[in-house]
């Protein structure tokens, strides 16, 4: 499961890096919290997420729940980047839609194996 979560993070990370590269980033695609340019950049959160993944030199050492949360964020990024395509994400065979569906199944499989949280409403 961990390996699949780590592998699934590759797709959104590469998408964001491609966008960052096209913007002539002065920080070599690394988010700088003290940079005014990073603060004003429209892809600041996405860049920060990518930088966090880069900081995880060895993703295999990260807790599975962290990998799952990162994948959830990656799914939101892919969905928002491709929202303008306006196609049926449940049946479309394009790469972004296929990746989102696969990631949803992966997260569902991970969460199915979790012990219910007694502190969460409805659990």
Instruction: Give the model's pLDDT for residue 4.
Output: 94
Q: Is the pTM above the cut of 0.75?
A: no
Instruction: Give the model's pLDDT for residue 107.
Output: 94
Contact, 29 vs 21, CB < 8 A? yes
Give the count of beta carbons closer than 10 Å to the beta carbon of residue 94: 12
Q: Which two tokens stand for residue 64?
A: 């599975």
Q: How far apart are the first and last CA of the chain?
A: 24
Tell me: pLDDT of 69 over 80: yes
**9 vs 20, which has greater pLDDT?**
9
- Identify the CA nearest to 67 among candidates 5, 7, 1, 114: 5
């Amino acid at each position: 499961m961990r390996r699949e979560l780590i592998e699934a993070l590759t797709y959104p990370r590469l998408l964001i890096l491609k966008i960052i590269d096209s913007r002539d980033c002065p920080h070599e695609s690394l988010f700088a919290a003290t940079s005014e340019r990073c603060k004003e950049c429209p892809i600041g959160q996405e860049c920060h997420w990518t930088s966090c993944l880069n900081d995880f030199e060895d993703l295999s050492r990260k807790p599975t729940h962290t990998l799952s949360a990162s994948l959830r964020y990656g799914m939101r990024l892919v969905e928002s980047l491709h929202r303008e395509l306006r196609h049926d994400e449940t049946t479309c065979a394009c790469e972004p839609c296929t990746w989102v569906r696969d990631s949803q199944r992966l997260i569902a499989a991970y969460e199915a194996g979790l012990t219910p949280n007694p502190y969460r409403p409805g659990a």
